[in-house]
C-alpha cells in the first residue's frame, strides 16, 4: 500500500510540475506553482525557510522521500526504469535486474564539493549561479522541459487554435511564440538528459547516488531518519530478491544491510519480498545488523500514510495585434548589439539575478508575452534576459516574479511593477521613418503605456520621437511595435527605438 501511495503522489507531483512549465494560460501555475518552491536548491537560494524546514523534517522522519516523490528528475529516472523493464525479457525481469554496489564516495562527494564551490561562487557573483544549476536536478529537468516539451506542446496548441479559428471557433487560445528554445541551451539540456537516461537505464538511481548534490545532501540526513526499510532476519530466507529489485543498489543481501544514505524509499523491496521480511518502520539501534519488527500498528500506519499524503499535497492572456495599431504589419526583428541586457521588475538588479538564478527556465516558459529568452553570454549563462523583438513586458504582468522558486525575482504587486524602471528607451533618428524620411508614424508614442514618448519637430522639420526618461520604465512596447523594416524606405531588421537596460532597478 505504501508503494502504491508513493507512486500516486510521485505521478501527481511530476505531472503538476511539468504542467507549470508547459501551460501558457497560468492555470497550472495558480494551482501548482508552489511545488517548484519546494525544490531544495531553489529553496536554499531563496532562503525559503518554511520549505527548507519541511524538506529537512521529511527526510529526518521518512528518509529520502523527496527523491522518490517531489524531485521531477528522480521521477523521470523511474519512468526510464519502467521503460527499460518493459524491454527486458520476462524471465530476466521477474527475478530483478539490479545488483548491490558499494558507495562511490570519491565521485559522490567530489560532485557535492564541486557543487558547493559553484554555489558559493554564484552567491559571491564570481560566476553566474546557473553554473551550479548545471548540477541541480530540478534545473536539469526544467531545461529539458523548457527546450523540448514546451515548444512542441505550444506549437500543437497553436495549430489547433488556428484550425479552430479558420472554422469560426475562437474558444481556443493559441500559445504565445515561445522564446525558450535556444540552440546552445538545447544542446546543454540534451547532453544532460542523455547522461541521466543512460545512467538510469544502466543502474537505476545511479545518478541520484553518484552525481546529484541534492541526493548527497539528503543522504547525509537520511542516515538518521526515524522510519526506514528494515530487514527482519527471522523472516528473511536470503533469497536476494530485495537487492535485485533495488533501483538504488543499496541493499547488501549477503550481510542483510541497507545503505540508508542511498535508499530513496521507493518501497520496491517491500513490495517484492515474498516472505514479508522487510517493513517500513523504526530501526532500533540495539539490534546488530537488522532487527525483527512487528507489523506496524494501525495508529502508526495511519500516521505514516497521512503524513505521506500531506507531504504530497505540499508537493490566456489575449495575444497582441500583429500590427502597429492596425496599419503596418509587424515582423520579428533582432536586438541591437552591444546594449545592456534588460531583466524583469522583481529581479532588483542584474547582479541579484546573476547570484540566484539556476537557469531552470521556468520564468521563460511561463512568460505570457514570450519576451524572456535564455542568454548564452558567459556572464549570464542560460539565465533569462528580455528580448522585445517578438513581444513586450506588460506593466500589469508579474508572472515571473510570482513563479520563481529561487528568489531570483522578488514577488511584487501589479501596481508596484508599473512604477519600476528596468531600462530606458533610446531612439536612433537615422533609422526612424518619421525623423529620417518625414513619414507620419508615431507608433512608439501611441503604444507607450506610460506616455513617456512624445513626437516633436526636429531640426529638419520632420517629427521625431523623444523619450522622457523620468517616465520610461523600459517595458519594450515601443521597440516591439516599431514598424521599421515593414514600412517606409528603411528595410533594416532592427527597431529605430530600443531599450537599454539598467544595472539596478529603481522606482520612478
Three-state SS for 234?
coil
Q: Do 136 and 264 have their domain in common?
A: yes
Question: DSSP string of 221-266?
Answer: HHTT-SEEEEE-TTT-----HHHHT-TT--EETTTTEE-TTT----
Q: Do 286 and 365 have their domain in common?
A: no
* Nearest-5° Cα angle at 72, 71 to 77: 100
Q: Do 364 and 445 have their domain in common?
A: yes
Report strand pairing: 251-252 vs 257-258. antiparallel
CATH code where residue 491 lies: 3.30.70.20
CA distance 504 to 506: 7
Report strand pairing: 384-386 vs 463-467. unpaired
Q: For residue 345, tell me if it sits in a domain.
A: no
Q: For residue 372, tell me if it sits in a domain.
A: yes
Q: Which residues pair with residue 257 across a beta bridge?
A: 252
Q: Do 296 and 159 have their domain in common?
A: yes
- Helix/strand/coil percentages in the chain, nearest 5: 45, 10, 45
Cell numbers 518619421 correspond to what residue? 434
Q: For residue 475, tell me if it sits in a domain.
A: yes
Q: For residue 396, tell me if it sits in a domain.
A: yes
Please tell me the predicted confidence (pLDDT) of residue 413.
92
Domains in the chain: how many in total?
A: 2
Domain that holds residue 282: 2-314
pTM of the predicted model as reported, rounded to 2 decimal places: 0.85
Any idea how long the chain is? Answer: 508
370 Rama sector, left if φ>0, alpha if ψ -120 to 50, beta otherwise: left
Please tell me the predicted confidence (pLDDT) of residue 283.
64
CA distance 158 to 171: 12
Compute and round to an integer the Cα radius of gyration of the chain.
Answer: 27
Is residue 46 within 8 A of residue 406, CB to CB? The reply is: yes
CA distance 476 to 56: 43
CA distance 102 to 117: 26
Q: For residue 341, tell me if it sits in a domain.
A: no
| 3 state SS for 409-452 | CCCCCHHHHCCEEEEEEEECCCCCHHHHHCCCCCHHHHHCCCCC
CA distance 149 to 363: 15
Domain boundary residue among 288, 314, 340? Answer: 314
Domain boundary residue among 314, 331, 363? Answer: 314
Q: Do 27 and 163 have their domain in common?
A: yes
Q: For residue 189, tell me if it sits in a domain.
A: yes
DSSP 257: E
Three-state SS for 506?
strand
* Total Cβ atoms within 10 A of residue 429: 17
Q: Do 231 and 361 have their domain in common?
A: no
Q: Do 283 and 360 have their domain in common?
A: no
Q: For residue 78, tell me if it sits in a domain.
A: yes
Among residues 419, 431, 410, 406, the alpha carbon closest in space to that of 475 is found at 419
Q: For residue 320, tell me if it sits in a domain.
A: no
Tens-level pLDDT at each residue, the chain (508 residues): 888 999 999 999 999 999 999 987 888 999 999 999 999 999 999 999 999 999 999 999 999 999 999 999 999 999 999 999 888 888 777 777 888 989 999 999 999 999 999 999 999 999 999 999 999 999 999 999 999 998 888 777 766 666 655 665 555 555 555 557 889 999 999 999 999 999 999 989 999 999 999 999 999 999 999 998 998 888 888 888 888 889 999 999 888 899 999 999 999 888 888 888 888 888 665 444 433 333 344 444 443 433 333 333 333 233 344 444 444 455 567 777 778 889 999 999 999 999 999 999 999 999 988 899 999 999 999 999 999 988 899 999 999 999 999 999 999 998 899 899 999 999 999 889 899 888 889 999 999 999 999 999 988 899 999 999 999 999 999 999 998 866 656 666 789 999 999 999 999 8
Q: Do 277 and 370 have their domain in common?
A: no
Q: Do 368 and 305 have their domain in common?
A: no
Is residue 359 within 8 A of residue 383, CB to CB? The reply is: yes
Q: Which three cell numbers stand for residue 441?
A: 508614424
Q: Do 229 and 184 have their domain in common?
A: yes
Q: Angle of helix 49-62 relative to helix 213-222, nearest 10 degrees?
A: 60
Amino acid at each position: 500500500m505504501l508503494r502504491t501511495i508513493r507512486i500516486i503522489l510521485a505521478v501527481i507531483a511530476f505531472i503538476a510540475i511539468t504542467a507549470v512549465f508547459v501551460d501558457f494560460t497560468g492555470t497550472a501555475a495558480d494551482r501548482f506553482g508552489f511545488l517548484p518552491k519546494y525544490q531544495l536548491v531553489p529553496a536554499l537560494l531563496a532562503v525559503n525557510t518554511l520549505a527548507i524546514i519541511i524538506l529537512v523534517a521529511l527526510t529526518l522522519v521518512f528518509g529520502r522521500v523527496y527523491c522518490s516523490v517531489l524531485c521531477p528528475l528522480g521521477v523521470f529516472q523511474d519512468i526510464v526504469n519502467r521503460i527499460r523493464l518493459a524491454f527486458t525479457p520476462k524471465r530476466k525481469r521477474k527475478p530483478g535486474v539490479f545488483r548491490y554496489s558499494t558507495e562511490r564516495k570519491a565521485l559522490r562527494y567530489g560532485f557535492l564539493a564541486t557543487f558547493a564551490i559553484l554555489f558559493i561562487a554564484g552567491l559571491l557573483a564570481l560566476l553566474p549561479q546557473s553554473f551550479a544549476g548545471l548540477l541541480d536536478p530540478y534545473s536539469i529537468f526544467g531545461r529539458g522541459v523548457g527546450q523540448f516539451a514546451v515548444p512542441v506542446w505550444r506549437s500543437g496548441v497553436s495549430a489547433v487554435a488556428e484550425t479552430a479559428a479558420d472554422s469560426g471557433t475562437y474558444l481556443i487560445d493559441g500559445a504565445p511564440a515561445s522564446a525558450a528554445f535556444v540552440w546552445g541551451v538545447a544542446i546543454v539540456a540534451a547532453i544532460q538528459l542523455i547522461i541521466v537516461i543512460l545512467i538510469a537505464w544502466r543502474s537505476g538511481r545511479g545518478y541520484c547516488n553518484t552525481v546529484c548534490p541534492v541526493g548527497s545532501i539528503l543522504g547525509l540526513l537520511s542516515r538518521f531518519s526515524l522510519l526506514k526499510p528494515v530487514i527482519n532476519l527471522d523472516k528473511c530466507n536470503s533469497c536476494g530478491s530485495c537487492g535485485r529489485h533495488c533501483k538504488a543498489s543499496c541493499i547488501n543481501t549477503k550481510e542483510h544491510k541497507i545503505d540508508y544514505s542511498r535508499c530513496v524509499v521507493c518501497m520496491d523491496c517491500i513490495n517484492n519480498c515474498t516472505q514479508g521480511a522487510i517493513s517500513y518502520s523504526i530501526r532500533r539501534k540495539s539490534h546488530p545488523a537488522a532487527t525483527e519488527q512487528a507489523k506496524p500498528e494501525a495508529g502508526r500506519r495511519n500516521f505514516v500514510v497521512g503524513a505521506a499524503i500531506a507531504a504530497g499535497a505540499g508537493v490566456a492572456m489575449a495575444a497582441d495585434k500583429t500590427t502597429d495599431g492596425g496599419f503596418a504589419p509587424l515582423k520579428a526583428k533582432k536586438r541591437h548589439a552591444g546594449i545592456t541586457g534588460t531583466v524583469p521588475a522583481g529581479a532588483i538588479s542584474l547582479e541579484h539575478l546573476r547570484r540566484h538564478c539556476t537557469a531552470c527556465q521556468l520564468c521563460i516558459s511561463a512568460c505570457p508575452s514570450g519576451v524572456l529568452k535564455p542568454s548564452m553570454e558567459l556572464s549570464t549563462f542560460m539565465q533569462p534576459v528580455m528580448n522585445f523583438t517578438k513581444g513586450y513586458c506588460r506593466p500589469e504582468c508579474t508572472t515571473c516574479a510570482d513563479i520563481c522558486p529561487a528568489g531570483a525575482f522578488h514577488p511584487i504587486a501589479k501596481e508596484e511593477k508599473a512604477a519600476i524602471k528596468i531600462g530606458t528607451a533610446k531612439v536612433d533618428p537615422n533609422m526612424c521613418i518619421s525623423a529620417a524620411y518625414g513619414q507620419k508614424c508615431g507608433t512608439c508614442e501611441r503604444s507607450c503605456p506610460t506616455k513617456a514618448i512624445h513626437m516633436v519637430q526636429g531640426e529638419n522639420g520632420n517629427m521625431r520621437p523623444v523619450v522622457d526618461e523620468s517616465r520610461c520604465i523600459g517595458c519594450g512596447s515601443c521597440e516591439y511595435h516599431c514598424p521599421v523594416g515593414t514600412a517606409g524606405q528603411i528595410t533594416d531588421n532592427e527597431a529605430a527605438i530600443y531599450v537599454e537596460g539598467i544595472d539596478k532597478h529603481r522606482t520612478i
